[in-house]
Chains A and B, each alone.
Chain A
Amino acid sequence: MSMDSKNPQKFSSLYEWLTTDAPISRNQARLSALYMSWLELRSNPMAMFGITILLALVLIAWSAPLLAPQSPFTQDLAARLTPPGEGGYILGSDSLGRDILSRLIYGARITLYIVSLVALLAPIVGLFVGTAAGYLGGWIDVILMRITDIFLAFPKLILALAFVSALGAGIENAVLAIVLTSWPPYARIARAETLTIRDADYIHAIKLQGAGSLRIITRHIWPLCISSLVVRVTLDMAGIILTAAGLGFLGLGAQPPSPEWGAMISAGRKFILDHWWVATMPGMAIFVVSLAFNLLGDGLRDVLDPKKSSK
């Protein structure tokens, strides 16, 4: 470690540097807190399984042109609906003779794109609305929470359908529609967390030091809300993938010939009895990725639960 030479206190190894209970710099304190969480997450085999699958998904999406045996768009009508394993089609071919494996590999990009955009936007909107409502209270709370209630009162997919039909079909609009329908639960969680925090002595203390509402919300309340939101987001990821797939299935998400997994299921529906693999393969992909996110979410809940770590 290059840091050791500068510091009066010696750490004989990186491990010791990370696990010391007397850090000597801001960064060391931060890194060692992160490392402790990682150690706890690592001891949870199911969460590690989830992380492995998700890392593999990212890797597959990133190196799709190298991995895919064929172009996802090349049609070969002579080889249409080839069963898995025959004629060089490992997972079979679809009704236009396109290789399903290649389409799944390229489809991972679309799935990751949708999931990461929604996972970034929806909790941030919810965090803003929820913490502002919870901390400021009064009529701001009433107005923001009634808006949240209105959004919550609609079934998610129906509302997303309405948004997409209004905005026009396409992946960007599908993302926007999913964000617009999925922020209310995050706002609810953030508000509930804020209500338990706002009257804590440490918030009173910072108020007595003259901090304004904006500073208290962003620097003192947000860090405590984020962990429960992160957990909730990973648990919702499966739902986000399914909503995106549902929109694709209904023809309102990704448009042909885009290899989005939901749209692929939709296309395979016509042949589901005679040619099961066309719809089953993308279904399996959605299942595996959803499962991975759920397992990771469970693991993160154990690591990040503020009640547990504040003991």
Chain B
Amino acid sequence: MSKDNSAGIGLENVNVWFGEDNERVDAVIDAGFTVSFGGSFGLVGESGSGKSTILRAITGLVPNWSGKISVLGRELSKDRGKEFYSAVQMVFQDPYASLHPRQTVDRVLSEALSLHGFNNVNERILQVLDDVGLDKTFRFRWPHQLSGGQRQRVAIARALIIEPTILLLDEPTSALDVSVQAEILNLLTRLRAEKGLTYLMVSHDLAVVGHMCSKIAVMNGGKIVELLSVEDLRALKAEHPYTKVLLDASVQKRREE
């Protein structure tokens, strides 16, 4: 893959819809933003605003989309090739649904390695378990023997083990309880610093995105209503009325806590 070092992910005029004709529902309308290589970008919005759908459009999990999506300076066609899958990985929202119930941690990780033709399977698995902060005794456990936070660490390990450069994070902490949320967020922050990863993170929680990301897009009703930097967010300098409402709600929540 030709590496344009400034380009991480770029979206231009992206539309995503479900159904056809009368039943057509537009989930994402005319979305555009860029994530620089090595940067971290947050997509915020309420449920149904289309933020997760953007991730699914990038990964090719939705059938109908139009516009231009480019990854590492290369425009994506309808079929994602092996190059794409080795550069981009995703961490899903619900760790209880994202691990195969009949596969041990070892099986999940070695399957990923064999798909991408890596050797040194043993060392790589032990290394990645160490990277995500899991003891090596977890290697041969089944998902039902793990807690939510441990499962999410395994899901992160599965994404990292094939050494991608871009990680798509679909609300990686929303299914976890608060103390575990902080652990996973710190883990993700540390991994990005260590491995120079590019993050595109979806969340409904402004505090999480403010902690993790340097640039933020606010979505409402399938449209990106405002792009702002994390400094603007912290200074509560929003222009669009919807962003102001979100910020107010978040500040309100802080005060109550």
Contacts and interface: CB of A to CB of B under 8 A. Distances in A.
Partners in one complex: yes
A257 interface: no
Given A205-B90, A209-B112, A28 B140 contact: yes
A87 interface: no
A208 B241 CA distance: 37
Interface string A92-109: 000000000000000000
A211 interface: yes
A208 B89 contact: yes
Nearest to B61: A204
Given A210-B85, A219-B111, A310-B144, A205 B92 contact: yes
Binding site secondary structure of chain A = helix
B190 interface: no
Given A220-B100, A223-B102, A309-B101, A204 B92 contact: yes
Interface in B90-137: 90, 92-94, 97-104, 106-107, 111-112, 115-116, 137
Nearest to A212: B115
Q: How large is the interface on B (under 10, 10 to 19, 20 to 34, 35 or more residues)?
A: 35 or more
Instruction: For chain A, give the interface size range.
Output: 20 to 34
Contacts of B158: 205, 209
Contacts of A146: none
A206 B85 CA distance: 10
A201 interface: yes
Nearest to A25: B140
Contacts of B155: 205
A39 interface: no
A209 B85 contact: yes
Given A200-B97, A209-B115, A210-B115, A24 B86 contact: no
A23 interface: yes
Nearest to B102: A223
Contact of B92 (A25, A201, A309): A201
A202 B104 contact: no
A22 B137 contact: yes
A33 interface: yes
A224 B106 contact: no
Interface in A18-44: 21-26, 28-29, 33
Contacts of A208: 59, 61, 85, 88-90
Contacts of B103: 223
B126 to A, nearest CB: 12
B162 A26 contact: no
B141 interface: yes
Contacts of A220: 100
Contacts of B97: 200-202
B242 interface: no
B82 interface: yes
B145 interface: yes
Nearest to A220: B100
Contact of B140 (A29, A204, A206, A210): A29
12 contacts: A21-B145, A22-B138, A23-B141, A24-B139, A25-B140, A29-B104, A29-B142, A33-B142, A201-B92, A202-B100, A210-B115, A223-B103
Given A26-B106, A210-B115, 15 more contacts: A9-B137, A21-B145, A23-B141, A201-B94, A202-B100, A205-B155, A206-B100, A207-B61, A208-B59, A208-B85, A209-B89, A209-B158, A209-B162, A210-B116, A309-B144
The 9 closest A-B pairs by CB, nearest first: A210-B85, A201-B98, A29-B140, A23-B140, A22-B137, A202-B100, A201-B92, A201-B97, A310-B101
